[in-house]
């Protein structure tokens, strides 16, 4: 799990930062340490972080400001916020802003490793979906206007005769268009085509 994953630790408490980093390095993660949000956001390494463990209360930028800034910049790495015991309100705000999870101080090592692992798993799935969506968008761009119309009708669950009547074309012509659409979408079966769009939640608009 750890191979190739880079974790950022953001905390102005050097002792806590170093102890968390040590735990993660022991499990073969690459760890980068940042003493402030400003240092993190200015770092050229920010885009390659796979996950961040971020203290909510720091001098300078607050953890909430950092979460917001990362979100506005399109940083997709999951953020795990660390909060003082009892500061549930701050943690809840962070989650609403897009943080993955929160840990209360004192941070338990095994819990942190578990949450980091869960964050990486979900992040990996989301990255894979983003790549698939982009690929599907590129395939959609190759369709002609008529092929798009046929695809829309197919995804609406309409039969060939209905599509042919609405587009004032023959059933045979619709079959040809469907075959072209499926070829360009790289699927071999109608069910596969419908499942692809449903799974990736991509629209043809």
The pLDDT score that the predictor gives to residue 1 is: 47
Q: What is the pTM of this model?
A: 0.67
Measured distance CA(180)–CA(100) in Å, rounded: 42
Q: Are 38 and 46 in contact (CB under 8 A)?
A: no
Q: pLDDT tens, 108-162?
A: 888 999 999 999 988 788 778 888 888 888 999 999 999 999 999 998 889 999 9
Structure tokens belonging to residue 113: 């490793």
Q: pLDDT tens, 66-114?
A: 999 998 998 889 999 998 765 677 888 888 888 999 888 888 888 999 9
Residues 6 or more apart from 56 whose CB is under 8 A from it?
62, 63, 64, 81, 82, 83, 84, 87, 90, 91, 94
Question: 122-142 as b/e, with b when 16 or more CB fall inside 10 Å?
Answer: ebeeeeeeeeeeeebeebbee
Q: Are 13 and 35 in contact (CB under 8 A)?
A: no
Domains delineated in the chain: 6-130 (3.40.50.2300), 142-200 (1.10.10.10)
Q: pLDDT tens, 22-61?
A: 999 999 999 999 999 999 999 999 999 999 999 988 888 8
């Amino acid at each position: 799990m750890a191979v190739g994953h880079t974790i950022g630790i953001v905390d102005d408490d050097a002792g806590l930062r170093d102890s968390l980093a040590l735990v993660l390095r022991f499990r073969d993660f690459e760890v980068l340490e940042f003493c402030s949000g400003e240092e993190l956001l200015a770092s050229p390494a920010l885009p390659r972080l796979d996950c961040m463990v971020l203290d909510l209360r720091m001098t300078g930028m607050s953890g909430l400001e950092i979460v917001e800034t990362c979100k506005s910049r399109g940083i997709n790495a999951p953020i795990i916020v660390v909060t003082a015991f009892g500061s549930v309100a701050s943690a809840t705000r962070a989650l609403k802003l897009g943080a993955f999870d929160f840990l209360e101080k004192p941070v338990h090592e095994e819990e942190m490793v578990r949450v980091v692992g869960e964050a990486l798993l979900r992040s990996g799935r989301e990255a894979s979906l983003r790549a698939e969506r982009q690929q599907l968008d590129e395939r959609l761009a190759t369709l002609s206007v008529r092929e798009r119309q046929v695809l829309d009708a197919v995804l609406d669950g309409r039969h060939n005769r209905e599509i042919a009547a609405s587009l004032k074309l023959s059933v045979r012509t619709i079959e040809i268009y469907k075959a072209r659409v499926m070829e360009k979408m790289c699927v071999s079966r109608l069910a596969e085509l419908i499942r692809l769009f449903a799974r990736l939640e991509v629209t043809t608009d």
